[in-house]
Amino acid sequence: MLEHRVQPAIRGLRAYDPGHDMVALRRAADAALVELGSNENPYGPSPLARDAVVKHLDELALYPDPRGGDLKRALAQRHGVAVEQIVLGDGSHELLMQLAQVFAGPDAGVVASQYGFAVYSIAAAAVGAPFRAAPALAMDHAMAAGHDLDAIVAAVDANTHLVYLANPNNPTGTWCGIDAIERFLARIPDDVIVAIDEAYAEFVDAPEWASAIALVARHSNLIVLRTFSKAHGLAGLRVGYGIAQPELIGWLERVRESFNVNLLGLAAAEASLGDPAHVGEGVRKNKIERERLADALRSRGLFVFPSQTNFLLVRFGEDAARIDEALRTRGIVPRPMGGYGLPDCLRITIGTADQNATLLAALDALR
């Protein structure tokens, strides 16, 4: 009945698919689930972050700092940038949407890679912007299904205003080295905004990778996005940030919702920055388990995409849907990839050693 009042861009919009209904699955389960579908940190946040949350509970009746000043100053010190170069978001998801709101539209297109994060196309659709997905690398490439930077450059035309690029990428886990990123940026017109999404940056140990934050000073059209949801273990508090030159940040600030990062999120994120040892220990454990789990899955004849994240994309072939369902009946929840055009794959978060052992035992029982 209300469809005729809905904006045309929204009518064709498909909402973000978070995967299985975890709340319903938890309520129906007889025991704790092995949750391996949302790339959450199984080791949890820093004790300092927990203490910061408790400390601020008596302030819940108060609005948070609308500027997020303390967190911005901590981030500026961490990354060697000015406070004016930082924008905070309700997770990096909000910033991805704001970038399209500010820079894209019916006559201002968006380009991303095939198999890129689902929010990129959603952000474009929400503002009625034409969206073009550049073909990913072939499956026989060493970075199978990863970004083809040449193809992305070729997809940019005179009507392109915004490019999204996840590095490392979700859901494939693949990555691009910093030299390739520099060459890529040099080929993008200076008036096309490039958003490099580094949500999984802390997990990378590939020597050729480096953060694009170091390139912001040379590229006025570049913004680099980060999140506290993954390595920092604060997914439930929704805190993200972007780093760019002040002019670009200023445009995003115009559409930023007031008090968009909550009181507890600001406090916990700042405290987590002050505990690099905790974050580093989680990253160290993730690397060990990522390599161990990938080797174990490959030894079982499965194709495992290369990954520098806290998850693995695994090809199960035509049995993927059946295996997904069978694992769930055993209390193990991966992420189906049909919505990404990869129906033969499941994305598996790197869990603890015990969680990964449980997964492997279940897979063996299904063979």
| Listed residue (296, 363, 358) closest to 326, CA to CA | 363
Write 49-56 long-range contacts (CB < 8 A, 24+).
49/232, 49/233, 49/234, 49/268, 49/269, 49/271, 49/272, 49/275, 50/268, 51/271, 52/264, 52/267, 52/268, 52/270, 52/271, 53/237, 53/264, 53/267, 53/268, 55/267, 56/263, 56/264, 56/267
For residue range 83-129, list pLDDT tens digits in order.
999 999 999 999 999 999 999 999 999 999 999 999 999 999 999 99
* Cis bond upstream, residue 171 (ω within 30): yes
- Cα 233 off chain centre by: 13
The CATH architecture that domain 48-275 belongs to is 3-Layer(aba) Sandwich (3.40)
Enumerate the domain spans of the chain. 3-45+277-366, 48-275
Mean pLDDT of 68-83: 98
Neighbouring C-alpha atoms within 13 Å toward the C-beta of 101: 13
- On the question of a common fold for 3-45+277-366 and 48-275, the answer reads no
For residue range 133-151, list pLDDT tens digits in order.
999 999 989 999 999 999 9
Query: Which residues have CB under 8 Å from 340's CB, separation 6+?
Result: 115, 118, 171
* Cis bond upstream, residue 168 (ω within 30): yes
Q: In the structure encoding, which two tokens stand for residue 88, read together? A: 């905070």
Has residue 61 got a pLDDT over 80? yes
CATH number of 3-45+277-366: 3.90.1150.10
Has residue 277 got a pLDDT over 90? yes
43 in helix, strand or coil? coil
Q: Which helix (H) or strand (E) holds 132?
A: strand 131-134
Provide the mean pLDDT of the chain. 95
Can you tell me the distance from the alpha carbon of 129 to that of 8, in angstroms, rounded to the nearest whole number? 11
> Which DSSP category does 158 fall into?
T
Has residue 229 got a pLDDT over 90? yes
The total number of residues shown for the chain amounts to: 367
Q: In the structure encoding, which two tokens stand for residue 67, read together? A: 């500027």
Could you tell me the pTM of the whole model? Answer: 0.94
Neighbouring C-beta atoms of residue 18, cutoff 10 Å? 11
